[in-house]
């Protein structure tokens, strides 16, 4: 059973937003759906060796364009208490999905913990979606 | 051709196309404010409260306390932003609304871990708590996801990761 929390964010500059939070504990090599935005996209994850593979499935008729979040954003990592023994990891990605007035910008932060005794990994994610305007509002041009 | 017409029709040499990078001429920063953090914490629960996590600046602090007798774990979430924060939480039995009052820590008792056998090769263990905490501008501009799980037992290790991101 897939469980996630999805909540609407307060509009920013008139643009609606959504935040999706999800977490699963997986054995290495097992592919599972981590995040689902109905009718928009889903993100599958699989742990392969020391890497986390992510697969973005486009559920719209429009294109998906990945953007390099790393160039514009830094995701910091803070490790507290006994968490260091769990080898916490993090990754982030972003993409634009859909076309026309329905284009969305999506920013996803992923985090991992390794449970050596159980032979599993916990993969968690927070995805933030914002509607992207096609053009700037009248009077806002440079 | 007039200069004003040319400026309307052609991109200047140092200009940026309105659809450059499919971002409406804006950089990704224009859509999301600030940068994110992942905070990871783990602590073995005991009868003495121990800190599980603290978001940057100590704005939200999560502590853990093992209740004597029944091995239940209490989480205490302290909101130090100075403003009331709204949140939603899922403890495996449905989504409920919550508020984090800056004057009163919120206490949540963790449920037993839920193991779900999806297929012979895939075992999923749900987290005991998934919580989303929403912005309250300008004091708290971030959206936060808090995910907490524990391995049960007499001395459970409680593990958490929190995501903060400007929206």
Whether residues A77 and B28 touch (CB distance < 8 A) is answered with no
What is the structure's pLDDT at B21?
Answer: 42
What is the structure's pLDDT at B151?
Answer: 82
What is the structure's pLDDT at A28?
Answer: 94
Grouping H, G, I as helix, E, B as strand and the rest as coil, residue B49 is: coil
Q: Is the ipTM of this complex over 0.95?
A: no
Residue A44 placed within a domain = yes
Residue A140 placed within a domain = no
Its domain, for residue A71, covers 4-131
What is the structure's pLDDT at A141?
Answer: 36
pLDDT digits (tens, 9 = 90+) for A113-140: 999 988 999 999 999 999 876 554 433 4
Grouping H, G, I as helix, E, B as strand and the rest as coil, residue B7 is: helix
Residue A31 placed within a domain = yes
pLDDT digits (tens, 9 = 90+) for B37-66: 899 999 999 999 999 999 999 999 999 999
pLDDT digits (tens, 9 = 90+) for A75-96: 788 999 999 999 999 988 899 9
Residue ranges in chain B whose pLDDT is less than 50: 10-26, 28, 31, 120-121
Grouping H, G, I as helix, E, B as strand and the rest as coil, residue B77 is: strand
CA distance A121 to chain B (A): 10
In percent, the amount of chain A with pLDDT more than 70 equals: 88
Residue A141 placed within a domain = no
What is the structure's pLDDT at A50?
Answer: 87
What is the structure's pLDDT at B71?
Answer: 75
What is the structure's pLDDT at A35?
Answer: 97
B11 in contact with A, Cβ within 8 Å:
no
Of B24, B40, B118, the CB nearest to A133: B24
Whether residues A124 and B163 touch (CB distance < 8 A) is answered with yes
Portion 47-106 of A in contact with B at CB < 8 A? 65, 67, 69, 72-83, 85-86, 88, 90, 92, 94, 96, 103, 105
User: Exposure pattern of B47-74 as b/e (b: 16+ CB <10 Å)?
Assistant: eeebebbbbeeebbbbbbbbeeeeeebe
Q: Which residues of B touch A132 (CB under 8 A)?
A: 23-24, 31
Residue A70 placed within a domain = yes
Question: How many domains is chain A partitioned into structurally?
Answer: 1
What are the distances in angstroms from CA A12 to CA A37, A60, B127? 20, 24, 31
User: Which residues are registered as beta bridge partners of A112?
Assistant: A89, A123
Whether residues A79 and B90 touch (CB distance < 8 A) is answered with no
> What mean pLDDT is predicted for residues A7-34?
92
What is the structure's pLDDT at B154?
Answer: 77
């Amino acid at each position: 059973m897939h469980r996630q929390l999805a909540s609407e964010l307060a509009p920013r500059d008139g643009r609606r937003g959504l935040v999706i939070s999800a977490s699963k504990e997986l054995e290495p090599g097992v592919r599972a759906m981590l995040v689902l935005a109905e009718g928009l996209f889903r993100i599958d994850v699989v742990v392969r060796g020391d890497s986390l593979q992510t697969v973005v499935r486009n559920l719209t008729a429009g294109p998906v364009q990945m953007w390099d979040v790393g160039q514009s954003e830094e995701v910091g990592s803070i490790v507290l208490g006994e968490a260091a023994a769990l080898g916490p990891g993090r990754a982030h990605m972003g993409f634009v999905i859909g076309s026309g007035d329905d284009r969305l910008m999506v920013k996803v932060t992923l985090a991992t913990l390794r449970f050596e005794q159980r032979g599993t990994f916990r993969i968690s994610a927070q995805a933030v979606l914002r509607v992207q305007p096609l053009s700037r509002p009248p009077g806002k041009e440079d | 051709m007039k200069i004003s017409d040319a400026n309307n029709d052609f991109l200047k040499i140092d200009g940026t196309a309105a659809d450059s990078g499919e971002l409406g001429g804006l950089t990704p920063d224009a859509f999301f404010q600030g940068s994110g953090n992942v905070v990871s914490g783990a602590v073995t629960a005991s009868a003495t409260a121990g800190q599980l996590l603290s978001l940057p600046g100590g704005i939200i602090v999560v502590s853990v306390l093992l209740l004597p007798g029944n091995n239940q774990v209490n989480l205490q979430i302290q909101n130090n932003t100075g403003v009331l924060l709204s949140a939603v939480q899922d403890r495996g039995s449905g989504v409920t609304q919550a508020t984090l009052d800056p004057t009163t820590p919120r206490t949540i008792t963790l449920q037993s871990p839920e193991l779900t056998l999806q297929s012979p090769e895939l075992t999923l263990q749900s987290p005991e708590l998934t919580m989303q905490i929403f912005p309250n501008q300008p004091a708290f501009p971030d959206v936060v996801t808090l995910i907490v799980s524990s391995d049960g037992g007499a001395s459970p290790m409680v593990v958490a990761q929190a995501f903060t991101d400007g929206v």
